């Protein structure tokens, strides 16, 4: 399959201040990420809260400027542009926000927000717009009458589905979904996941799917990349990743997933959560890793191939089996 979007050695620095009097170094929220998403695929990104997933998404979108590395969209180099130009070049990439409340204009009825999206996309016929809005609302499990409401008159899950509907109406090529099923009940979640699949089949959409819900990731993603502290530490086809996780962090993550009806839970990760202002030497995971030894603290592991399409950054991945 053709590559739709790709990043190479992407670095994103946040929070740097360059005032006259004050100078504060930023933090590298994304630090050398390379990935390649094929057209029509669903590419999952998982990882610890704060590891840089949303920052990666915003950078691929062009909302956040990269400090290093490059981004290609359908083969063309799109990184290095000014923010306004970057967004124009990347109109085919759309983002469904992690915080549903952040994505909707509080002063607009949600139906008007949806109609505005359609207008931008070129649908000017009022009747057609009404039909398409009702159609997408039903597809995300909402009563079309909710179009008359303001965002604050909707529940959290209803807001999230409006945000999703708004982006899907734009018919982008790539949709970056940031926690699209958080706060949805299982029934609505199933309906939303099915809608995403149907749209992909009908219009050839591609998804970058950021999620903490491993059951959902396992169900819908073709590939999964696991991030830890700004880096991708493991990537593999979904079935392989879940069956044979090789990075100790991936293994801890999969083990911690809550299970239906399970009472006791395994211990989480030991050690303090890492700080971007004090990135550990060698392997960034070594202070919390059960397999760490002297080499882990001294040398940064390079990417190694476990199997076709399965890469891992760990000195001791062979022992993690």
Ligand X SMILES: Nc1ncnc2c1ncn2[C@@H]1O[C@H](COP(=O)(O)OP(=O)(O)OP(=O)(O)O)[C@@H](O)[C@H]1O
Of the chain, the end-to-end C-alpha distance in Å amounts to 31
Tokens of 300: 């940064």
Stretch binding Mg ion (CB under 5 A), from 52-60, 133-141, 215-223, 256-264: 52-60
Stretch binding Mg ion (CB under 5 A), from 70-78, 98-106, 140-148, 219-227: 98-106
Decide if 43 contacts 207 (C-beta within 8 A): yes
Tell me if 189 contacts another protein by CB under 8 A. Answer: yes
Tell me if 226 contacts ligand X by CB under 6 A. Answer: no
Residue (191 or 291) nearer to another protein, CB = 191
Q: CB of residue 124 vs another protein: minimum separation in angstroms?
A: 27
Residue (248 or 274) nearer to ligand SF4, CB = 248
Q: Among 15, 80, 156, 258, indicate the residue that binds Mg ion (CB under 5 A).
A: 156
Q: CB of residue 53 vs Mg ion: minimum separation in angstroms?
A: 5
Q: CB of residue 83 vs Mg ion: minimum separation in angstroms?
A: 20
For ligand X, the binding residues in 229-288 under the rule CB under 6 A are 276
Tell me if 54 contacts another protein by CB under 8 A. Answer: yes
Q: Among 32, 50, 68, 282, indicate the residue that binds ligand X (CB under 6 A).
A: 50
- 296 interface partner picked from another protein, ligand SF4, Mg ion, none, CB below 5 to 8 A per type: ligand SF4
Interface contacts to ligand SF4, rule CB under 6 A: 247-248, 283, 285-286, 289, 291-292, 296, 301, 314-316
Residue (28 or 316) nearer to ligand SF4, CB = 316
Tell me if 153 contacts another protein by CB under 8 A. Answer: yes
CA distances from 92 to 35, 121, 206, 212, 316 (A): 18, 11, 11, 25, 40
Stretch binding Mg ion (CB under 5 A), from 46-54, 117-125, 167-175, 274-282: 46-54
Q: CB of residue 152 vs another protein: minimum separation in angstroms?
A: 7
Tell me if 292 contacts another protein by CB under 8 A. Answer: no
As a whole number of angstroms, the distance between CA 265 and CA 278 comes to: 30
């Amino acid at each position: 399959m053709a590559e739709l979007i790709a990043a190479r050695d992407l670095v994103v620095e946040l929070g740097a201040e360059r005032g006259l009097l004050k100078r504060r170094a930023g933090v590298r929220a994304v630090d050398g990420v390379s990935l390649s998403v094929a057209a029509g695929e669903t590419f999952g990104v998982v990882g610890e809260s704060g590891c840089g997933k949303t920052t990666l998404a915003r950078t691929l979108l062009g909302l956040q400027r990269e400090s290093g590395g490059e981004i290609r969209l359908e083969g063309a180099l799109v990184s290095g542009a000014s923010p306004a130009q970057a967004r124009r070049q990347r109109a085919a990439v759309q983002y469904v926000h992690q915080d549903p409340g952040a994505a909707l204009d509080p002063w607009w009825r949600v139906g008007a927000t949806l109609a505005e999206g359609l207008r931008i996309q070129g649908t000017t016929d009022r009747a057609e717009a009404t039909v398409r809005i009702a159609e997408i609302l039903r597809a995300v499990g909402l009563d079309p009458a909710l179009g008359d409401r303001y965002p604050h008159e909707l529940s959290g899950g209803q807001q999230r589905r409006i945000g999703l509907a708004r982006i899907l109406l734009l018919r982008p090529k790539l949709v970056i979904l940031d926690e699209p099923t958080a706060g949805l009940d299982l029934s609505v979640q199933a309906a939303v996941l099915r809608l995403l699949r149907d749209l992909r089949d009908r219009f050839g959409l591609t998804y970058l799917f950021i999620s903490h819900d491993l059951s959902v990731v396992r169900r819908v993603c073709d590939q999964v990349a696991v991030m830890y502290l700004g880096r991708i530490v493991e990537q593999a086809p979904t079935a392989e990743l879940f069956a044979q996780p090789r990075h100790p962090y991936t293994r801890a993550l999969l083990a911690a997933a809550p299970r239906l009806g399970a009472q006791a839970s395994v211990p989480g990760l030991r050690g303090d959560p890492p700080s971007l202002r004090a990135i550990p030497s060698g392997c960034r995971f070594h202070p919390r890793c059960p397999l760490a030894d002297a080499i882990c603290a001294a040398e940064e592991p390079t990417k190694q191939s476990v199997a076709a399409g399965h890469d891992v950054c760990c000195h001791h991945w062979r022992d993690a089996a």
